[in-house]
Amino acid sequence: MPCYSYFCESCNQKFEIVCSIKDYQEQAKCELCSGNNVIRLYIEDLSTLNVSIKKHTSELSTIGDVANRNRDSFSNDQKAAIAAKNNAYREEVSTNELPKGMSRIKKTGVKTNWKL
């Protein structure tokens, strides 16, 4: 639930109200002195805002959304293990015999930028 920060000019005190968005009222009363001379502190609300917005399971509409959600739930160790497993084939040299007249090409590690 959102937390709204206010400053009461009557008693010079800061206070916060935690309520749902539908219960939010533009004009709040001071919780300490019940005064009406209250100013909303938007800057303090922004400093505590969590910048990570996650979709609810019912809002996941593509496989990419599901993949991103799952990726974000992994620890750094799990991500490193998966990357090592997926890239292991790049270091292996195949010992399979090639058909007559064919040879293996060594990869240079340089990516080609294809332009249209």
Which domains, and CATH codes, for the chain? 3-47 (2.20.28), 57-88 (no CATH)
At residue 91, the pLDDT reads 67
Phi, psi of 4 (to 5 degrees): -110, 130
Top pLDDT among 44 and 113 is at 113
The three-point CA angle 14-19-20 to 5° equals: 145
H-run or E-run covering 16: strand 13-18
Evaluate if residue 47 carries a pLDDT over 60: no
Half-sphere CA count of 47, side-chain side, radius 13 A: 5
- Across the strands, what pairs with 40? 6
| Range with the largest mean pLDDT of 5-14, 16-25, 47-56, 89-98 | 5-14
Half-sphere CA count of 21, side-chain side, radius 13 A: 0
CA separation for the pair 116, 110 (Å, rounded): 19
